[in-house]
């Protein structure tokens, strides 16, 4: 009889651990998305004209777009807009 109770208790703890682990994974993923949204919002708050090319680069990278011409022109536009602010 103790073996049966032990097996039931072990199964309960295993299921609890699996559920907790899945919740942690979801929490971590949500946290990363939250950080990305806050970062994008911060960039747009300070200077939308400067942040737009940078956001386009990030989105293109996230989606796997590999157009070198567009990427390089966006980088130049970001650097140009950034340098205008300081001069």
Are residues 22 and 60 both part of a single domain? no
How many domains are there within the chain?
A: 2
The domain of 86 spans 47-87
pLDDT digits (tens, 9 = 90+) for 46-70: 766 666 777 777 777 787 777 665 5
Model pTM score:
0.50
Are residues 37 and 64 both part of a single domain? no
pLDDT (0 to 100) of residue 8: 92
**Contact of 82 with 54, CB cutoff 8 Å:** no
User: What gap in Å lies between CA 74 and CA 23, rounded to an integer?
Assistant: 38
70 or 12, higher pLDDT: 12
pLDDT (0 to 100) of residue 55: 74
pLDDT (0 to 100) of residue 87: 47
Residue 51, Cβ neighbours under 10 Å: how many?
A: 21
pLDDT digits (tens, 9 = 90+) for 20-43: 999 999 999 999 999 989 987 887
Are residues 41 and 11 both part of a single domain? yes
């Amino acid at each position: 009889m103790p073996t049966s109770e032990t097996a039931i208790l072990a199964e309960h703890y295993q299921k609890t651990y699996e559920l907790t682990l899945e919740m942690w994974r979801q929490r971590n993923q949500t946290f990363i998305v939250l950080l990305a949204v806050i970062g994008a919002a911060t960039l747009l708050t300070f200077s939308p004209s400067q942040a737009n090319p940078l956001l386009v680069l990030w989105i293109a990278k996230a989606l796997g777009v590999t157009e070198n011409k567009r990427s390089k022109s966006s980088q130049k536009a970001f650097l140009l807009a950034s340098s205008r602010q300081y001069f």
